[in-house]
Amino acid sequence: MLSKPGMWQTSSQPSPQVPNLDTAARDGEVPMTASSDEKFGTFNISKRHFLGGLAGAAATSVLPVWRRAEAATMYDIIVIGAGTAGMPTAIFAAERGAKVLVIDKAPITGGTLDRSTGQIAGSGTVFQKAKGIVDSADAHYADNMRINNGTADPVLTRMFVDHAGDTINWLAANGYTVRDGHPVLGGGHEDFTTPRYQWGMEGGKTIYKVMEPLFTAAVKKGNVTLALSTGAVDLIQDGKGAVVGVTCEDDAGRKQDFMGRNVVITAGGCGANPRMFQDLHGTALTTQIAYPYNVGQSILLGLSAGGYVRGGDLYNPLFGTVLADDNFPSEQASGFMSNPERRPPWEIYVNSHGERFMREDDPSVDRREHALARQPGMRMWVVFDQEMLSKAPTSFMPRWKKEKFMDAFGSHPMFAKADSLHALGVKAGVDPQGLAASVASFNAAIASGTTDPKGRAHRPVPLAKGPFYAVRMTGWTVITFAGLAVDGTLRVIRSDGSPIPNLFAAGEAIGGGATSGNAYTNGAMVTPALTFGRLLGQKMLKWKA
Ligand SMILES: Cc1cc2nc3c(=O)[nH]c(=O)nc-3n(C[C@H](O)[C@H](O)[C@H](O)COP(=O)(O)OP(=O)(O)OC[C@H]3O[C@@H](n4cnc5c(N)ncnc54)[C@H](O)[C@@H]3O)c2cc1C
């Protein structure tokens, strides 16, 4: 699957504006002057390699740098990425008295919380208690594993649900508030059986606004050193493979080694690196919504130290969206109302063969998503006729005004209109014969009052009177499913299961599949990112000066 060595570097990496290695130097670090990078492995990863013992003594070009960096500062913990998982790691480690360095490639903290919906889930929360909801970590675990078809990592899921409630209560104790009526059973994904799902008025930003003052206080206190616009480009390992530091680079290309007793990779997934995303998931990144700095450096760093990647096979698309064009990653033109409880479908859905591939009013969003995942190119067409268009009380694209929607049939590449079904198929790129056969069997079942071939219940009118219309939808995602394999204490592991000493990972760096499985399990990304960060800082990381 990792078939394109050297092709993961993105040419569209954002260029942070605020270089600060000067600041780091003022804070006691010595900017690195010598460079001894070497190409490493099949992925063209630049790796600084430190040799131990006598062999190391011969490596004169690197030793002076090592000594100067080590002499300057030895951090207890280096956190790579000041986002959803990295911020709580630093906050809690600093509370325990650790000397923490946090670096982030972006000029600001917070990472994906700037765009995440921030929906989180946990049991035993103050929000549940306020509503008299009885819940347990066991029930949360059972719900999660049901929703993700038993595909999430059971050990990591257990750890996440056991501590999720405390994470939410910690946020609440620091001012986090949720929307009226929350916690709820669900919201866009498969429902829980107990209301334990909530989010703030500003989604992920609500969470950030709670953590930011705590983080800033730790920086002001001096426990946390923050280096923004500073990206980790390499891990430093000793002769036994233990991680002992991080090589960083600012946007002016200046490098600096930072030495630490623990290194935590919380630099997100690869959702802003289409090539890496495709290599790891075997499917195109159809839209790019991820935080632009998350170009997969987490994965490269972990691989370079001996770790391995898992979870790409768990990829599952969100149900279709209208893309602006076929130049992946494409812009999203509009969403698509496919929830039959909110809008029972009048239209039929077909794939490129013209075949209906699912029951359009299937109440399970997970089944709808997996059905789409199996279609060629993750494409589907919503097909309807004039009567459906005129009589359906609401459109399946409710965010577009009717005029805009109708205009699109003359101008938008995803929209097609024709007088006959055959012509519609040709225009839309759907096999016309397959389409005709699907429509015929759909109509025949309605006419004869027999069961729909796909088991659909809501079918108010047949699809019979032209003009005919088709709108193409494509599967998409907002998360990286693949990530670094870790053990039950979040240590990055090699393929033989052995941990890489001193190296930890959390957040999307460990892959969404680890905690969300092959589904969009409610809150199973943000909550474990926060929770694992908290647990790392609070107790998992160990150090001795
Ligand atoms: C639109 C959207 C909606 C979502 N909604 C939900 C939801 O409702 N519920 C849910 O559970 N999940 C949701 N998710 C997923 C969830 O938000 C993310 O999985 C989670 O926030 C990722 O946290 P993280 O700490 O791994 O990454 P981030 O929060 O992105 O932090 C990573 C940080 O690392 C930095 N970084 C990157 N590379 C480097 C480097 N080389 N060196 C130093 N720093 C680096 C980045 O700048 C960034 O600040 C959503 C995602 C998106 C995009």
Running along the chain, 545 residues long, what does each successive block of 10 average in pLDDT?
35 32 31 26 30 29 36 88 98 97 97 98 98 98 98 98 98 98 95 98 98 97 96 97 96 93 98 98 96 98 98 96 95 92 97 98 97 97 98 94 96 98 98 98 98 98 97 97 98 98 98 98 98 98 89
Q: What is the pLDDT of residue 544?
A: 87
Fold held by 51-316+478-539: FAD/NAD(P)-binding domain (3.50.50)
Ligand 1 center to residue 22 CA distance, Å?
27
Give the DSSP per-residue string, 52-86: PHHHHHT-TTTHHHHHHHHHH-EEEEEEE--STTH
Which residue ranges have their beta carbon within 6 Å of ligand 1?
80-86, 103-106, 111-113, 115-119, 204, 231-232, 266-268, 289-291, 293-294, 297, 478-479, 507-509, 523-527, 529
Residues of the chain with CATH 3.50.50.60: 51-316+478-539
393 burial (CB, 10 Å; 0-12 / 13-18 / 19+) is exposed
Query: Which distant-in-sequence residues (6+ apart) come within 8 Å of 20 by Cβ?
Result: 227, 228, 229, 230, 250
* CB within 8 Å of 327: residues ≥ 6 apart: none
Cα(110) to ligand 1 centroid in Å equals 8
Cα dihedral sign for 235, 499, 263, 267? Answer: positive
- Residue 249 has what pLDDT? 95
Q: How do 224-227 and 255-265 pair as beta strands?
A: unpaired
SS3 label, residue 371: helix
- Residue 507 alpha carbon, nearest atom of ligand 1: 26
DSSP tag of 536: I
Ligand 1 centre distance from Cα of residue 84 (Å)? 6
For residue 202, the model assigns a pLDDT of 98
Give the Å distance between the CA of 282 and the centre of ligand 1: 21
Phi–psi pair at 137, nearest 5 degrees: -65, -35
What's the rounded Cα separation, in Å, for the pair 35 and 39?
13
Cα separation, 260 vs 244, whole angstroms: 5
Tokens (6 digits) for 308: 């391995």
CA 430 and chain centroid, separation: 32
Q: Which fold has domain 319-476?
A: Flavocytochrome C3; Chain A, domain 1 (3.90.700)
Residue range(s) in the chain whose domain bears CATH number 3.90.700.10: 319-476
Task: Kindly give the number of the ligand 1 atom that is closest to the alpha carbon of 110.
Answer: 49
The three-state (H, E, C) secondary structure of 108-147, written as one string:
CCCHHHHCCCCCEECCCCHHHHHCCCCCCHHHHHHHHHHH
How many angstroms separate the CA atoms of 310 and 505, rounded?
13
| pLDDT at res. 73 | 85
Residue of 13, 104, 112, 291 best suited for mutating to test ligand 1, as the one with most atoms within 8 Å of CB? 112
* Distances 350 to 158, 353, 472, 486 between C-alpha atoms, Å: 39, 7, 9, 40
Please give the pLDDT value at position 43: 26
Nearest residue (CA) to ligand 1, atom 15? 525
Q: Which residues on neighbouring strands pair with residue 184, listed in sequence order?
A: 197
E strands along 485-534, which residues?
491-493, 499-505
User: Whose Cα sits closest to atom 14 in ligand 1?
Assistant: 116
Ligand 1 center–CA 113 separation, angstroms = 6
Nearest atom (ligand 1) to Cα of 81: 34
The pLDDT score that the predictor gives to residue 101 is: 97
Cα angle for residues 285, 505, 308 (degrees, 5° grid): 65
Give, using CA atoms, the residue closest to atom 52 of ligand 1: 116
What are the beta bridge partners of residue 264? Answer: 79, 504
Write out the two tokens for 32.
Answer: 């690195």
CA distance 77 to 79: 6
**Alpha-carbon span 98 to 120, nearest angstrom:** 28
